[in-house]
Amino acid sequence: MKRIAILVAALMAASGALAQLPAEQHLDKTALRPRYRQWMQPVGGVVVTQNPPSLLWPAGGEGVTGYRVELSPSPEFPAERTLVSRQPWAV
């Protein structure tokens, strides 16, 4: 009986030590997400599958007073099938 109790205690101690996570984890990248957007989305011929699509772009530099956004189902952007919107800031 004493051997079983020692064996159970040893197994419990070993399983507890293996289940603990490290106190610190080191990441290879400088950040999980950049503080400021660095690229546009969608870009590069990506087909958008959500409706409405999310349109994201980096904030402009000095002297940028707004943005013109054009949205069209056609890559040629014909005037009759293109939605044009002016944005005063990056959203």
Q: How many domains does the chain have?
A: 1
pLDDT digits (tens, 9 = 90+) for 18-69: 566 677 777 776 666 777 777 788 888 888 888 888 888 887 777 788 888 8
Residue 47 lies in a domain: yes
Q: Give a yes or no: residue 2 inside a domain.
A: no
Tokens coding 10 = 């040893």
The band of 91, judged by pLDDT with boundaries at 50, 70 and 90, is: low
Q: Which domain does 59 fall in, by range?
A: 35-91
- Does any domain span residue 59? yes
pLDDT score of 76 more than 90: yes
pLDDT at res. 14: 64
Indicate the pLDDT class of residue 15, thresholds 50, 70 and 90. Answer: low
Residue 51 included in any domain: yes
Residue 43 lies in a domain: yes
Q: Would you say residue 7 lies in a domain?
A: no
What Cα–Cα distance (Å) separates residue 5 from each residue in 2, 10, 18, 84? Answer: 5, 9, 20, 76
